[in-house]
Amino acid sequence: MFSICKRKYFYHYYNKYDQKIPVRLIRDLKDLSSIPLATGIAAHEVIEALLNRLGKTNQDVDRVKFMDYALRTSEHLTKSSQFHEVYYQQIEGVAIEDVYPKVELSLENLLDSDRYRWLVEEAIETSDDWVIEPGGYGETRMDDLKVYFKVDFLFPVGDLLYILDWKTGKQDAERHRKQLVGYAAWASYHFEVDADHVVPTIAYLHPKYEEVEEVFNEFDLEHFAIQIRAETEEMYEYCRDLEQNIPIDKSEFTRIDDPRICSICEYRGLCWPDDYPVASITEEDANSWALRDQTDPSSSSLLNQSLG
């Protein structure tokens, strides 16, 4: 988030320091879901239940009942979430048809994959040691910095530790590679094994089942630690009091000028009120909160130009 848009990072982590916009509004926006997010959450929840069951029995899954469970999980999420697509009046409402078909296909793809067969037939032997969607965030130390990683599924086979990370979204080689190194670092630290004994894998569930796996060595981890250190130091520059984690002025957290990114951001109504009006923000609010800040280089007129 920090590398993509500093303003988003501010709204996400430092919203209580916003001197103009009510914190409640920023937090309401922060809590908004989206169709891709709800799809991913539903798939993760159902796979978690599938793996927990698999840890107890390798009897065939009753697909009809399983898919019914997936449908109800998706329905619950669809009904209980507030979606930014609706909030910004792009669509009237989110229906189960907007979420479930992708969840269903993702799960079918997993159940039909060689990986799932291998889990049922071989990996199951160590199911007592499986770590499935652990709560909280796994803390790791890298170069004296605290770093947190959250894995979906970790399990040992032979002298290797496998990590699977489910994705329902698009492939993103660079970002996901970073995630894989992070998982290797976490598992290596936490379970005291050499990095090259960890097999972190991204499992893309949609539109077809595909895996990207990479094994790293100590040199990769050292290089990763250097990157983390550099990124952390850059973040520190945005704090005026590091101890208390108090940020510098919000105006320093610049807005990105990229309509592709802003058009799917939950805070777009704050950054670009003319393009994404928020019903609860009046003209007067927008002006007094300086939402139309012309001194910001990425002003809304620039956005309008780039949108054509």
- Applying CB under 6 A, the residues found at the interface with ligand SF4 are 5, 7-8, 11, 255-256, 261-262, 265, 267-268, 271
How far is residue 31's CA from residue 12's CA, in Å, rounded to a whole number?
Answer: 10
Cα angle: 9, vertex 14, 17; to 5 degrees: 135
Strands 160-167 and 198-204: parallel
If you search the block for the tokens 């520190």, which residue do you land on? 236
Identify residue 134 by its one-letter amino acid code: P
Rank residues 43 and 270 by Cβ distance to ligand SF4 and give the closer one. 270
Nearer to ligand SF4 among residue 184 and residue 270 (C-beta): 270
In sequence order, which residues have a C-beta less than 8 Å from that of residue 205 and are 6 or more positions away? 43, 106, 107, 109, 110, 166, 167, 168
Chain centroid, CA 38 distance in Å: 11
- 12: tokens are 């996400």
Q: Coil, strand or helix: which one is 304?
A: helix
For ligand SF4, which is the closer residue by CB, 158 or 308? Answer: 308
Q: How far is the CB of 272 from ligand SF4 (least distance, A)?
A: 6
Q: Least distance from C-beta 274 to ligand SF4, angstroms?
A: 13
CB nearer to ligand SF4: give 189 or 276.
276
Pick the closer one to ligand SF4 by CB: 116 or 267. Answer: 267
Please check whether residue 195 is in contact with residue 221, taking contact to mean a CB–CB distance below 8 angstroms. yes
Cα gap 54→148, rounded to integer Å: 27
For ligand SF4, the closer of residues 180 and 291 by Cβ is 291
Q: Per DSSP, what are the bridge partners of residue 202?
A: 165, 212
CB of 257 to ligand SF4, least distance (A): 8
Least distance between ligand SF4 and beta carbon 258 (Å): 7
C-alpha–C-alpha distance, residues 135 and 188, integer Å: 19
Contacts of 230 (CB under 8 A, 6+ apart): none
Smallest distance from ligand SF4 to CB 145, Å: 26
DSSP state string for 49-115: HHHHHHTT--SPP-HHHHHHHHHHHHHHHHHHPPBHHHHTTSSS---HHHHHHHHHHHHHHHHTSHH
Question: From the CB of 7, what's the least distance to ligand SF4, in Å?
Answer: 4
Report, in Å, the least distance between residue 284 CB and ligand SF4: 21
Residue number, 142 or 286, with CB nearest to ligand SF4: 286
